[in-house]
Structure 1
Amino acid sequence: MSTSHALQGPAQQRTEMSDSETEIKMSSKPESKSQTEPVQKRLCSNLFLSIKVFVLCHSLLQLAQLMISGYLKSSISTIEKRFGLSSQTSGLLAAFNEVGNTTLIVFVSYFGSRVHRPRLIGLGAVLVALAGLLMSLPHFIAEPYRFDHVDLGGTSLTPKDPRWVGAWWLGFLVSAGAVTLTALPYFFFPREMPKEKQELSFRKHISPSLDDNGESSLNKQGTRNSPEKEKDGEAQIAPDLTVIQFIKIFPQVLLRNLRHPIFLLVVLAQVNMSSMVAGMATFLPKFLERQFSVTASFANLLIGSISIPAAIVGIMTGGILVHRLHLGPTRCAAVGITGGLICVVFGLPLFFMGCPTHPIANVYGPSSLLEKEDFLNCTQKCSCSKSDFNPVCDTWNRTEYLTPCQAGCTGMKGDPGAGQVSITYTNCRCLISGVKDSSVTSGSCESSCSHLLLPFILFISLGGAMGSITHTPSFMLILRGVKNEDKSLAVGMQFMLQRVLAWMPSPVIHGIAIDTACVFWADTCGTRSVCRYYDHTRLRHRFIGLQFFYKLGTLVCFTLVFIILRQQEKEAARSRSQHGSVSQEEKLILSSEKRSGESIV
C-alpha cells in the first residue's frame, strides 16, 4: 500500500459526520447571505479547494503508482534473462518493494493527520518516481546485453525467442514521468478543505458533551471510573501522543488486537489471500510463457485485460453485497466462506491444464541410451561450446537442441539481420530422429497445449474474482471486531501484517518453488544463473499447488470466524433468556442481523 493509501483513513474520518451532528449544525445561527456569497465565489474560483478535484487527482496518482509496481512484476522474466537471475532472486527483488511500506505504514496512517497531508502525499509520490528511475538505472550502467550471435554467422531475435529481452527499462521511465506529473497538483492543495475546517470547529464545540458514540459524557462517567476501564484506557491511543509515546504504547495495542480471535483470524485470511495474489502477480506471466509458449507481452496483456478486471468486479460485488443487504458480522463471514470455497473449486482444474515438456536433446525427455551415445559422438566432432544457447527445433518429432551446432547443422536459409520471424538451418546430421541432412528452425518448439491458454486464464480469473468478493466483508469484520479507539490503527496494523506475512515472503516462496522445477541452468562464469528449461508438469503442480494451499488457508480462517460468531450469538441469546436484559453491544448485533434479514426477504 502506498503512502497515499495510509493517509486516506484519517482524512475520511475527519470529513464524516453523523446525522445528529448535522442537525445540530443546521440548527445553529446561519451567516447572512451577504457574508456567504463572496466566500462561495472565492471557493468556486479556486480549483484546488474542490474535493472532487482532489479525488480526481488522487485517482490519477494511484493509477500512476500502480503502473510502476505492476510493470516491475510484468518484467520479472525479462529481467531474469537480462541479468541472469534465478526466480528466488527475482522474487526477493519484488519483495523489497514492500519494505518501505511496511516500515512506514502504521506511523503514517496514525500521524498523517497532523501534517500537511496533500504535500506529504506529493513528496511520497516524488520518491516513488525517483524509485522508478533507479529501477531503470541498471540498463545504463551495466554492460550491453550480449546473447549467444554463435553458429553460422549469426541469428535473429524475435519476441518468441527465449533470449529476447527488449526495452524493459523504458516502461520504468514512462511510469516515473507519469507519477511526477500526477504528484504536482498536491503541492497546491490546502492543508484542510473549507468544509473540513467548519466540521472541526463544530466538533470542538460539541466534544465536551458527547463521546465518540454520540452519548452524553455524564452517562459514561460511572464506567470510566471502573478499574477495568481505567486499566484498558492506559493502552488506548490518544491523538496527541508523541512519536516516543506512540512507539511505547503500540505493542500493547497490537497484542490487545491480536488476542481478539475475530481480528486475528480475519487478518490471517487476508494474509493467505494476499500471499496467493502476490505470487500470482509476480510469476503468473512467466508461468504462462513457459507452460503455453506465449510471449511476455501477450501473457501480460491477457492478465491485464481479463484477470485484473475480474478481480475489480469481485471487489465491487463484495461491497455491493455488504451495502445493499446490510450484512452483519456473521453473514460477512458467510460471504467469505462462499467466496473462498468457490475459489478453491475453480483452482482444482488448473492442476490438469497443461502438458509435459517436449524432448530436449541431452537435457530432458525420453531417448534410448544408443541414441544418446550417437548424439554425443556426433556433437563432439563439431566441437560445440557447452555455454552457447541458440535453441532450434526439429519440427518432425518436436525435439529441441541447445544450438544448431549440437544438431550438426552446416547450412542456413535466410538472413538473420533482416528481422525474419524464423531462420532455417540445413544439413543437420546429429538429429536424434535419425533423419540425415534434415533441417531445423530457430527458436524453441511450440507447446502442444496452446489451446488450453484461454480456459486456464478463465479459471484463474473466475477464482480471483470469487476471492476478491471477500475483500470488503473482511474489512467490515475487522472494523466491527475491534474497539472504537483502535479502528484507525487496526487498519494500519492489518496492512502491515499483510506485507510482513504475505507480500514480502510470498514472491520468494513462489520463486523457490519455481526454481525446484528447473532441469537446465545457464552457466555464467562458472556460476549458476538463469534457468533455461523447466519440467512443465512439476512447474505446474508446484506453482498451482502453492496457490491452492493459500486458498485453503483462506477458507479455513473464514470458517473459524463464522463458527466463533455463531457461538457468540448463541451465548448472547442464552444470556438474554436467563437475565432478560440486553447489553448495548448485543443490541447492535441484533439490529444489524435484523436489518440484514429484512433486506434478504
Structure 2
Amino acid sequence: MKNTKPSFVEGYLGQDRSLGFHLHSHSLAVCPTGPAGEGTQMPDKDIKVTLDIEGTPGDKARPGTEALRPSVFHSIKFFVLCHSLLQLAQLMISGYLKSSISTVEKRFGLSSQSSGLLAAFNEVGNTALIVFVSYFGSRVHRPRLIGCGAVLAALAGLLMSLPHFISEPYRYDHTSHEDLPQDFEASLCLPMTSGPAPAPSNSSCSSYTEAQHLAVVGIMFLAQTLLGVGAVPIQPFGISYIDDFAHNSNSPLYIGILFAVTMLGPGLAYGLGGLMLSLYVDIDRMPEGGISLTSKDPRWVGAWWLGFLISAGAVALAAIPYFFFPREMPKEKHELRFRTRILSIIASRVSKGEGSSSEQSPGEYPGKQNGLAQCAPDLTVIQFIKVFPRVLLRTLRHPIFLLVALSQVCMSSMVAGMATFLPKFLERQFSITASYANLLIGCLTIPSAIVGIVVGGVLVKGLHLGPKRCVALCLLGTLLGLLFSLPLFFIGCPTHQIADITPQPGAQPEPGLFPGCSEPCSCPSDNFNPVCDPSTRVEYITPCHAGCTSQVIQEALDKSTVFYTNCSCVVGGGSVTAGSCDSACGYLVLPFVLLISASAALASVTHTPSFMLILRGVKKEDKTFAVGIQFMLLRVFAWMPSPVIHGSAIDTTCVYWAQSCGRRAVCRYYDHDLLRTRFIGLQFFFKTGSLVCFILIMAILRQQDKEAGTKTTLPSCGLEQQQLESGPEKKLEESKV
C-alpha cells in the first residue's frame, strides 16, 4: 500500500513507502481472509501446543510439550526479525539508484529527464499489480509469495548491474586512439592539422554502438520495472501476516520494531552509494598503468554497479527463510513479558499509527469492521472490479479526504524530486564529489526526517490531538518548512567561467580570452578534458580549446599533477592545470544541507497528523479503501511524474551538452543560478500547494462546527469523527455494496 503521508524519508524508500500502513495493512486495502476472520481462525487445540513459547511466568508446563514444540519458523517473533532484515535490504536496493543517478547519467550519456523516467519506472510495475495484492489478501501463501517477490527483486538488482559487464570499458577521453594513453595527444592542440573540427569517427558511431546503447538503456528500464513488481507483496503481506498471528497487544510493538529497522534502509543506501562511488567504475578491469583521474575530476565515474550486486545479494539471503514459514501459524496467546511501557511508547511513535491506538481496542482494526472489507473475500475478480469504482467515488466525495490526499500529492511530488536529484544538485552546485554528496544526505537529511516523524507521533500521542488540532499541526509544520526553504534560493555558487560558453560578467574581453583563439587547433567537438587557468579562474573544455601544445606531469610523493603548457588562449602563453577550477564557495554546502534537513524534519512532523485525518475522516468500513485510494493517487500523480518533471527542469538549465554520434547526451555544464532557482522553486511550489490544502481543510472544519452548532472542545473521538463524517456520506445506503 501507499504511504499515508509522504515524509522526506519516503523519497528514499523506493516503492515501499507504505510506512503508515500497519493499522490497515492486514486487510490490504480491500478484503483479507485469514486468521483475523472467523472462517480461518485456528482451533484452540492447535494454539495450546505453543503456549510455552509465548507464555508468561504464570504458565504451567505440561508433560510432552517439548516434543510438540514447533520449529523456529512457527514463531512470529522470528518472522518479524526476518521481515525487518528483508525490508532493510529491499529498501537499500530500491534507494541505491537515487544515490548513483548522476553517475549513471555520465556513464551512459543520459539526460536528467531520461534518468528521472528511469527512476519513475520503479512505480510502473508496482502500481500495475498492487490491486491484485489487495484482492487476493491472505488467500495465498503469503510468506512464500514474499520470498518469490524478494527473489525477483534480487534478480532485478543483478539485471541492473548487467550493463556494466556488457559495455566496453569506460574511456573518459573517448576521442583518443586505442594505442595512445588517454588524455594525451588527442586532447592537445595540433596546429599542423587545419580545417574544421573532425567529426566523430565511423567506428565510434557504428550501428552496433547505437544498438548497444539502446540495449543497455532498455535493460535498466526493464530492471527497474521488475524491481517494482518484486516489491509488490513484500510489505503489505508481511505486515498483514504479523498482524494476523501476533497477539493483539504485541502487534503494534512488532510493527514498530519493523519500521524502526526499515527506516535505516534509505540511510544505508546513500552510505553504500557514497562508498561505491569513491571507487573507479572499471575497478574489475583497470587499464595497464592505472588511470590519472581523481574522484574530484568531472569525468570521474564511480563503481555504481557494485552497489546493486551487494544489495541484490543481501535481498537474496534475506529471502531464504520465507520459503520455510507456514501459510498459517498458531496465534500468540499471551502478551510479551518484556513489553514494557517504554517499548510501547517507542513502538507507537515509530509505527505511524500514533493516536489511533488510544481510540481503538486491539480488535477494532479497520479491516475487521463490518462492510465491504468483510464481504469482499466472497467476491469474484469481476465483482471486485465492479465494486471498486463505487467505493472510489464515494470516498473521493469526502472533502476532508480529498484535500488531505491532494496535500500529500504535493508533498510526495516534492519528496520524489528531491530524493532523485538532490545528490546531483549538490554535486553540480557546490562542485563536490558524488561520494561526499551521498554521505551528507545519508548522515544528515534522512536522520532529520526520521526525527521529524517521531516528533509528530509524540505530539499526536501525548497531546491527544483531535482533527482540528492535527490540521493546525500540519499547517505549522508546512509553514515552517516553507520558511526554512526561502534561504536556499540564495545559498549557492556562481557558474564557472567557461571559455566560449559563459562570458565573464562585467568585464571586457581580454586578449587571451577572445573566441577563436583555438581555431587553428581543430579541436574535436565531442572531447571533454577540462583544464583551469588558475590566474583568471577560467575553465576550458579541453587543453586543445586553451591552445595548449604540450603536457607536463609533475610527480609528487602522494600524487602527480598534470600541467598543459604553451597555451595560446592563456594570457602570456602560460600553463593550465588539469581538472575543473575549484569552487570558491564549497564551504556553503554544509549550511545548505543543514537547512534542507531542517525543512525535511518540519515537513515530516506533519506525517502522523495527516494520517489521522485520513483515519478519522472517512467511514469505518471505508478506512481500508481510503488508504488504498490514497496510495493510487500518490503513485499516479506524484511518484511517477515528479522525477520526470524535475529532470526536465534541470535539463533546461544546461549550457553545454555533450554530443554522442550526433545526439544530445549528458550535460557537462549548468547555469548554477538558474539550476538553483528552478530546483528549489519546484520544492517551494509543491510545499505551497500542500499548505493551501491544509488551510482549506481548516476552513471546512470550522464551517462544519458552525453548521453543527455543537461544542468542538470535547475530547470525545466519537464526536470529532461524527463531525468529520457529516454530510451525504452518512446515508446508510451509500455504505452498502
CA distance in 2, matches of 1:31, 1:377: 85
1: CA distance, partners of 2:51 / 2:35:
26
Task: Pick from 296, 300, 309 the counterpart of residue 438 of structure 2.
Answer: 300
Equivalent positions of 1:242-391 (< 5 A) are: 242-366=380-504, 371=510, 375-391=514-530
Asked whether the 8 Å contact 1:291–1:447 carries over to 2, the reply is no
Distance across 1 between alignment mates of 2:599 and 2:612: 22
**Displacement, 1:197?**
9.8
**Which one-letter code corresponds to 1:195 in the other structure?**
K
Post-superposition CA distance 1:280-331 (Å, at most 9, x none): 1100000000110100010000000000000111111111222222221111
Asked if the contact 1:156/1:419 (under 8 Å) is kept, the reply is: no
Contact 1:156-1:422 within 8 A present in 2 as well: no
Range moving further from structure 2, 29-38 or 422-431: 29-38
In structure 2, distance between residues paired with 1:550 and 1:39:
63
Correspondence 1:586 to 2:719: yes
**After the TM superposition, which of the residue ranges 283-292 and 98-107 deviates more from structure 2?**
98-107
Aligned equivalent of 2:639, options 503, 506, 517: 503
Deviation at 1:573, TM superposition (A): 2.8
The 10-residue stretch of structure 1 (490-499 or 129-138) with the greater mean CA deviation from structure 2: 490-499
Match of 1:560 in 2: 696
In the alignment, which of 164, 174, 193 is matched to residue 329 of structure 2?
A: 193
Q: Aligned partners of 1:191, 1:259: CA distance in 2, in Å?
A: 39
Q: 2:170 aligns with which of 113, 120, 145?
A: 145
Q: Quote the residue 1:11 is aligned against.
A: 26
Counterparts of 2:637 and 2:560, CA distance in 1: 45
2: distance between equivalents of 1:469 and 1:400? 44
Query: Structure 1 length normalisation: TM-score?
Result: 0.83
Partner of 1:239: 377
1:397 to 531, 536, 549: 536
- Mapped to 1, the partners of 2:493 and 2:499 lie a distance apart of 18
AA aligned to 1:93 is L
The 3 A distance-change label for structure 1 pair 511 and 171 is same
Q: Matches of 1:379 and 1:525 in 2, distance apart?
A: 23
Cα distance in 2, alignment partners of residues 32 and 280 from structure 1: 49
Unmatched tracts of structure 1, length 5 or more: 18-24, 200-211, 215-219, 225-232, 577-582, 592-601
TM-score, with normalisation over the residues of structure 2? 0.68
Q: How much does 1:242 deviate?
A: 1.9
User: Post-superposition shift, 1:31?
Assistant: 12
Distance 2:33 2:469 in 1: 29
For each residue in 1:26-58, what CA deviation from the matched residue of structure 2 results, as whole angstroms up to 9, or x when unmatched?
xxx999999974686468652222222222211
| 2:599 counterpart (463, 466, 469) | 463
Q: Secondary structure at the match of 1:79?
A: helix
The aligned counterpart of 2:161 is 136
Q: Quick check: 2:616–2:721 contact (8 Å CA) kept in 1?
A: no
2:563 matches 1:424: yes
Provide the residue aligned with 1:539 in structure 2.
675
Whether 1:66 aligns to 2:91 is yes
What are the superposed Cα offsets for residues 91-140 of structure 1, whole Å, 9 maximum, x if unpaired? 00000011122122233134322222111211111111111111111112
C-alpha distance in structure 1 between counterparts of 2:65 and 2:696, whole Å: 54
Which of the pair is proportionally richer in helix? Answer: 1
Contact 2:49–2:69 (CA under 8 A) maintained in structure 1:
no
Query: Aligned AA for 1:400?
Result: E
**Aligned residue in 2 for 1:597:** none
What is the CA–CA distance in structure 1 between the aligned matches of 2:297 and 2:624, rounded to whole Å? 50
Give a deviation string over 1:463-513, Cα, whole Å, max 9, x none: 001101111111111111122222222222212211111111000000010
CA distance in 2, matches of 1:46, 1:152: 69
Aligned length: 544
SS in 2 for 1:400: strand
**5+ long unaligned stretches in structure 2:** 3-14, 37-43, 53-58, 174-181, 188-290, 336-362, 725-737
1:451 pairs with 2:590: no
Q: Structure 1, residues 326-369: CA drift from partner, whole Å, max 9, x if none?
A: 22111111111111011101100000001320210001122778
Structure 2 matches for 1:158-173, cutoff 5 A? Answer: 158-173=294-309
The answer to whether the 8 Å contact 1:328/1:589 transfers is no
Separation in structure 1 between the aligned mates of residue 524 and residue 720 of structure 2, nearest angstrom: 78
2-structure distance, mates of 1:71, 1:139:
16
What's the % identity of the aligned pairs? 65
Q: 1:16 offset after TM fit, Å? A: 11
User: Helix, strand or coil for the counterpart of 2:517?
Assistant: helix
CA distance in 1, matches of 2:151, 2:383: 30
Offset, 1:421: 6.0
The CA distance in 1 between the partners of 2:723 and 2:183, in whole Å, is 76
Whole-angstrom distance in 2 between the partners of 1:245 and 1:45: 40
